[in-house]
Structure 1
Amino acid sequence: MSVLAQTISIERPPTRPFDAPPTAKYVEYAHEVATRLAGKLSARERRRLEGERALLARARFVELNGVVHHYQDVGPSDGEPLVLIHGWDCSAFWWHHVIDPLAQAGYRVISYDLKGHGFSANDPRQQYTVAGFSADLQELIRILDLGSVHLAAFSLGAFIGLHVAAHHPDMVRSLIFFNFSLLPYNKVASAFVPWLLDTVFNKVLRPIERRNLWWLPFIYARLVMAQNTPPVSDIRLGTLALRYCDPAAVRVSATELSRPEILTAVAEQAKMIRQPLLLVAGANDPIMRPADGRKLVALTQNGSFLEVPKCGHLILFELPEHVIQIMRLFLKGVR
């Protein structure tokens, strides 16, 4: 009997009128986790997988602009809504440290996978653009009837949050961006970087992860992207995103974010927003440099900047307790 044919299930939240069926990605991985938990494991591996099963048990699915999205909705239904947007080639699980502490603080915390990422379905039209992702976020806010939300975004997610805040200010109450900055246009880099990212992520790291050699992508991330070493459970969650991200999402997003008009739009949108904004930068971030983050904040009307020492680009896994404390203090000040 195949794994998918086994009667192994994970209890999920009660259905809502707009719920969609789980995606094939989710079904595959939920059965994989349940099957492995039914076997013989080390104590550490069992704890890790039980943690993942708890995350999987919160899964909900909704169709946004023709594509089924995975999301989680945790905390009091009448709490101030806080929407979490993950980064490029990541997933909603990258926020797993943040969700419960903020929900316990009284916020209704919604984390979701961008289309083509995590357990969200791939977009057959391959509209993996800032405008495309922005339209999906707007639809999620409408369908869940969230009204005006706090947005917290990491890396690529900040492009999306900024777009929505600038063009639909009634939907956004405040913004917290982690590891984001202005990116100066460079003609040579714009021609080379999309090819490089496609090669590294789609042709090297993704096949390696599928062979369960998760520690190789981790070594790359630790040497290039991070200043702190996260626990194995976080490493495994981080590299899981490699397995399920649509390779086209990498190519399309990387190409779009190299276009001068997209990079220029970030500065223009920063000038448009009136909402409170906090930009948190890792002092040693090699991608989104703190100096360029300060320049972005200087363009806003109600922005502030925080630089975290000894931190790279992967703050959500490097220093999760810092992230939680920063978010709590900022959100409390917005009230």
Structure 2
Amino acid sequence: MALSLTAAGAGPAGAAMPEGRHAQLPGVRLWYVDTGGSGTPLVMLHANTGTIETWEPQIAPFAAAGYRVIAFDRRGWGRSEPDPSSGPQPGTVTEDLDALVRHLGLDRFHLLGVAGGGFVALDYGGWRPERLLSLIVGASYGNFSEPEIRTFFDRVNSPEFQRQPSELREIGPTYRGTNPDGVARWIAIEHGSRRAGAPAQPLRTPNTYAKIAAITCPALVIAAGADLYAPPALMQMWARRLPRHEWDVIPEAGHAIAWEYPEAFNEKVLAFLRKV
């Protein structure tokens, strides 16, 4: 069923968010949005910072391009409420995604994840590769357990770096300097994103090079040139292990790649989807 669009929550590109609803799933009342329609499903996974509201610049354009766009707040984020009475905690985002897919009756779909959402997209792809029409990952180090990834990430993710405000760690300097309203909106979403006391969800299984080698669907990996968490050189370490991947870069974007440069990000994603 198509959900109506409302003016509430207009993002930096002037988009509108669909109305959402809860799905009662094992261990969680999962808040999601679904644009509905007969288009091919495109499921989107938000970063560790923020909620589905950070997809404001993507949902309407992707739906206008003919896709059935679905996104959800992960357990303990936004409006998704952990429910210990219906399932164990904290669960995994990957299994929550799979439960939502079954709840909505989806067969095969495109999967898009940015930053921490990219961790989950790779985890899901390694577990359920037969479900995916394509995989898209943006601005993510993938949370790989491989020593070369961990060593690189630990060097850039120092304790001093972690003490900085999230907007300095995640938003690129060009965007901070040119779009104060967009920065303020991103900070407001991030500061209200987490439920107090909700534990982080682990991956279903560790992400490894061998695991993602089983993801044989077409894949697009988009790096952000000004990303302090996952610079292009780090992303290339794991991206080349995907059997059928394309590589692209948005040069001035920071870790919040889809929020900072929505037009460039959307164009790259839609061009890729049209091909597959």
Q: In the alignment, which residue of structure 1 is the partner of 2:30?
A: 69
Given that 2:226 and 2:255 are in contact with CA atoms closer than 8 Å, whether structure 1 keeps it comes out as yes
Distance between the aligned counterparts of 2:193 and 2:249, measured in 1?
32
Q: What residue number does 1:291 align with?
A: 233
1:242 aligns to what? 191
The one of 19, 31, 50 aligned to 1:58: 19
Structure 1 222/121 Cα, relative in aligned 2: closer, same or farther at 3 Å?
A: same
Quote the residue 1:149 is aligned against. 109
Counterpart position of 2:57? 97
The answer as to whether partners of 1:89 and 1:117 remain within 8 angstroms in 2 is no
Identity over aligned residues, as a percent? 26
Match of 1:245, SS state, is coil
Whole-angstrom CA distance in 1 between matches of 2:32 and 2:153: 38
Decide which of 264, 270, 278 is 2:220's aligned counterpart. 278
| Structure 2, unaligned runs of 5 or more | none
Cα deviation 1:30-58 (Å, max 9, x = unaligned): xxxxxxxxxxxxxxxxx9x6638x95761
Helix, strand or coil for the counterpart of 2:270?
helix
Going from structure 1 to structure 2, the CA distance change for 1:78 and 1:188 (only over 3 Å counts) comes to closer
Match of 1:134 among 90, 94, 97: 94
How many residues get paired?
257
Query: In 1, are the aligned partners of 2:169 and 2:229 still within 8 Å (CA)?
Result: no
For residues 294 and 189 of structure 1, do their structure 2 counterparts lie closer, same or farther at Cα, with a shift above 3 Å needed?
A: closer
In structure 2, the partner of 1:5 is: none
AA paired with 1:70? W
Compute the displacement of 1:59 (Å).
Answer: 1.3
1:284-333 Cα shifts (integer Å, max 9, x gaps): 21111211211212111101111211121111221011111011101001
Q: Structure 1-normalised TM-score?
A: 0.67
Contact 1:87 1:153 (8 Å CA) reproduced: yes
Q: Structure 1 segments of 4 or more deviating over 4 A? A: 54-57, 123-126, 186-190, 192-197
Q: Work out the CA distance in 2 between the residues paired with 1:317 and 1:56.
A: 14
From 150, 167, 188, give the equivalent of 2:127.
Answer: 167
Alignment partner, residue 19 of structure 1 = none
Measure, in 2, the Cα distance between the counterparts of 1:126 and 1:133.
Answer: 11
Could you list the per-position Cα deviations for residues 233-262 of structure 1 after superposition, in whole angstroms to 9, with x for gaps in the alignment? Answer: 56325432322413545x645xx58xxx83
Query: Counterparts of 1:196-207 in structure 2 under 5 Å?
Result: none
CA distance in 2, matches of 1:238, 1:290: 25
Q: Which amino acid aligns with 1:304?
A: E
Ranked by relative contact order (alpha carbons within 8 Å, sequence separation 6 or more), the top structure is 2
**Do the aligned partners of 2:50 and 2:193 also contact (CA within 8 Å) in 1?**
no
Structure 2 contact 46–55 (Cα < 8 Å) conserved: yes
In the superposition, the TM-score normalised over structure 2's length comes to: 0.81
What is the deviation of 1:224? 5.8
Q: 2:228 and 2:33 mapped to 1: Cα distance?
A: 31
- Compare the two structures and name the one with the higher helix fraction: 1
CA contact (8 A) 2:40 2:66 kept: yes
Structure 2 counterpart of 1:306, which letter? D
Structure 1 unmatched runs, 5+:
1-11, 15-46, 202-216
Change (3 A) 1:195 1:113: farther
RMSD value, Cα: 3.2
Residue number in structure 1 paired with 2:172: 226
Q: What's the counterpart of residue 302 of structure 1?
A: 244
CA distance 1:252–1:195, shift in 2 (3 Å): farther
1:177 alignment partner, SS class: strand
